[in-house]
Structure 1
Amino acid sequence: MQLKCIAIDDEPLALELLKEYISRFPQLKLVHTFDDAISAVELLRNTRVDLLFIDINMPDITGIDLVRSLQEKPLIIFTTAHKQFAIEGFELDAVDYLLKPINIDRFTRAVHKAIDYYKYKNTPALEDNDCLFVHSEYKLVKIQLSEIEYIESLEDYIKIHIAGAKPVLTLMSMKKVLEKLPADKFQRIHRSYIVSVAKVKSIQNRKVQLSGGVELPISDSYVNFINSWKKN
């Protein structure tokens, strides 16, 4: 597997550094570099690119505006010397945000995150995935499915409760997250709750008790969960 990538930066030294770092990864194939965003637009609109390294603060058009203009967006890793752009960057679902000067260790973590996310997005069968990727607190978070206890709906957000760790809050609907989860491992028991079937310790009086001690109600619409759980 190789991810086709391009790099855009108006600073020659920064662009050379990106080229040198990218060359260290056999999983990446650098197809082009640009020292201005305008020149890159046509290629991005007419050529499939898997991963884009792009500076944010550039003349003519910012990296953020360029990404917003794309109908088909590759995976994005923003590079910049300005911390204040982080929020805008992650509103565009960027994989990562690298602050200049970029060191190789930080670059490596970003690349591995992009590779993992690419595999996740391009895995045809949900059952082959053992993790869930969500955007939370301006970063892409990888969550192991085996660590999820239950998922709670909070209007436009969901809260993913993880065994022994802080819950993860992300902007997503219950319907959308169910599409990303294997149906034999996660089931809805209430309009506000999805549970990990493996974490259900007991059911009594239409209430699920999870292995971590949390009790959750089973609503009328999902009462069939009780019979399906008994068969496991």
Structure 2
Amino acid sequence: MSLIRCLLLDDEPIARQVLRTYAERLPFLQVAGECANALEAYEFLRQHEVDLIFCDIEMPQISGLDFLKALPHRPLVVLTTAYEQYALAGFELDVVDYLLKPAAFDRFWRAIEKVKDRLALRQLKAAPATAPASAPPEAKPTPAADDFIMIKENGNLVKVALPAIRYIEAMKDYVKIFTAERRLVAYLTMKKLEETLPAAQFTRVHKSYIVRNDGIETLQGNMLELKSKVQIPVGVQFREAVLRVLHEHLVRR
């Protein structure tokens, strides 16, 4: 994938060093610059373009939140702070994630995965604008054959083998399809995908999730655990369908 250019904004040198060390472990993440305060960061952004800002909140003169509010064109943001009370204010600014210091690398990595999803969505939203006017607004998958479906990702048709699909997650007008090998992001509604997938193999378990039936391991409370160890929430209106699938699998065993 293309490089994600990031700016480290924190008045603590040690905090910036930790972020830089984490970033260097990911080959697609490039630290474009470091700033110790909001004024430095504002000047940096006037001269450089970045995709992401790691932004501290409590800084001298201008807080991180005030700095972000003042930006006319805001890149994606991951807040980094030692204080939990700013979480709501941060998400009101549509930040991607909120890292509490000291954040471990695995938590940092999960934040970057969210950043990658946001960037993929931006690319998908930009793609229809360059398509011919007669192009349909939504990439429709071909009807499911015995073992695959066709979806459109980043303007390209992709063949997805049904046995490889573990689960699907909705993101408004997009879906994330998780397979054993990769994650695909397609401009497609959950409803259309649900109509396409064979009901004998896949079940809608939540308004935001579809899972492969033979990938279900257990149901505990309102959480479904897949054989891949991923946990998926179960919606109240879908619980009966989940129980039916579990019962069918028990009978087959």
TM more than 0.5: yes
Matched, 1:164 2:164: no
Instruction: Please state how far the C-alpha of 1:29 moved relative to its aligned partner.
Output: 1.1
Task: Note the C-alpha offset of 1:133.
Answer: 3.9
Q: CA deviation at 1:45?
A: 3.2
**Could you say what secondary structure the match of 2:26 adopts?**
coil
In the alignment, the residues of structure 2 paired with residue 86 and residue 121 of structure 1 have an alpha-carbon distance, to the nearest angstrom, of 24
Count of aligned residue pairs for this structure pair = 153
Which has the larger displacement, 42-51 or 53-62? Answer: 42-51
How far is 1:13 from its partner?
A: 1.1
| Counterpart-to-counterpart distance in 2, 1:27 and 1:104 | 16
What's the CA shift string for 1:130-181, capped at 9, x where partnerless? 97546xxxxxxx766778349xxxxxxxxxxx9312669xxxxxxxxxxxxx
Describe how 1:34-73 pairs up with structure 2 within 5 A. Answer: 34-73=35-74
Alignment of 1:46-125 (within 5 A): 46-123=47-124, 124-125=127-128
**What is the letter of the counterpart of residue 97 of structure 1?**
Y
**Paired residues for 1:179-194 under 5 Å:** none
1:98-138 Cα distance to aligned partner (Å, 9 max, x none): 0111100000000011012112211314634597546xxxx
CA distance in 1, matches of 2:46, 2:73: 8
Q: Which secondary structure state, in structure 2, belongs to the residue aligned with residue 110 of structure 1?
A: helix
Q: Percent identity?
A: 36
Contact 1:45 1:70 in 2 (8 A): no
TM-score by length of 2: 0.54
Q: Deviations over 1:10-50 (max 9, x none)?
A: 11111100010011111111110011121111122342210
Residues of 2 paired with 1:149 and 1:85: CA distance? 36
The Cα offsets for residues 81-114 of structure 1, whole Å up to 9 and x where unpaired, read as 1101000101111110001111000000000110
Tell me: CA distance 1:45–1:69, structure 2 relative to 1, closer, same or farther (3 Å): farther
1:6 corresponds to 2:7: yes
CA shift digits 1:39-69 (9 cap, x unpaired): 1111223422101101011111111111111
Alpha-carbon distance in 2 for matches of 1:35, 1:88: 22
Instruction: Give a deviation string over 1:176-223, Cα, whole Å, max 9, x none.
Output: xxxxxxxxxxxxxxxxxxxxxxxxxxxxxxxxxxxx7xxxxxxxxxxx
Mapped partners of 1:54, 1:40: distance in 2: 10
Which is bigger in relative contact order (C-alpha 8 A, separation at least 6)?
1
Q: Name the amino acid aligned to 2:115.
A: A
Give the SS at the match of 1:33.
strand
2:25 maps to: 24
- Among candidates 148, 172, 178, match of residue 190 of structure 2: 148
User: Who is 2:198 aligned against?
Assistant: none
Structure 2 unaligned blocks of 5 or more:
129-137, 140-151, 154-167, 178-185, 193-202, 210-237, 239-253
Distance 1:133 1:76, change over 3 A: farther
